[in-house]
Structure 1
Amino acid sequence: MSDFFFLIPISVVLGAAGLVIFLWTLRDGQYDDLDGAAERILYDDDVPERDRPDPDKP
């Protein structure tokens, strides 16, 4: 039983590190626009290569 007492501080440190990382991402704005990335793929404004004008042709 006494062999497992080192696991308590390790779990507290890992939990605190996870909380700090989560709060850091919250403050950094990682979760501000969750729908934007999902919708951005649907509205792609790129022109396909075959439809682009050739700059070498007059």
Structure 2
Amino acid sequence: MEVLFLLVPVALILIALAIKLLFWAVKNGQYDDLNTEGRRILFDDEPGPQRTDNASATEAASGGEASPSGEASQKHQTATQVKTQE
């Protein structure tokens, strides 16, 4: 029963702090525009610069088919990545 003398004031202080933070957020405009942030995920961002690597350049140069040397270098890179991850 004596613990209530501690818990009730602590709870009241936490409630007062939460209300103060709510009013601070409203005053600083945190709740001014609720719709824009919710809709932002629905639209694509501006596309960044296209990244070209050796495999795509090799495919474009050979008419859509990768050359054997391009495939071999990709396999070598993949094998190297697997070894470094272990």
TM-score by length of 1: 0.70
Q: Quick check: which has more Rg, 1 or 2?
A: 2
**Higher RCO by CA contacts (8 Å cutoff, separation 6 or greater):** 2
- State the one-letter code of the partner of 1:34: L
Secondary structure of 1:2's match?
coil
What is the aligned residue count? 51
Q: Which residue of 1 aligns with 2:13?
A: 13
TM-score by length of 2: 0.50
**Deviation of 1:5 (Å):** 1.1
Unaligned runs of 5+ in 1: 51-58
Q: Which runs of 4+ in 1 moved over 4 A?
A: none
CA RMSD in angstroms, aligned pairs only:
1.9
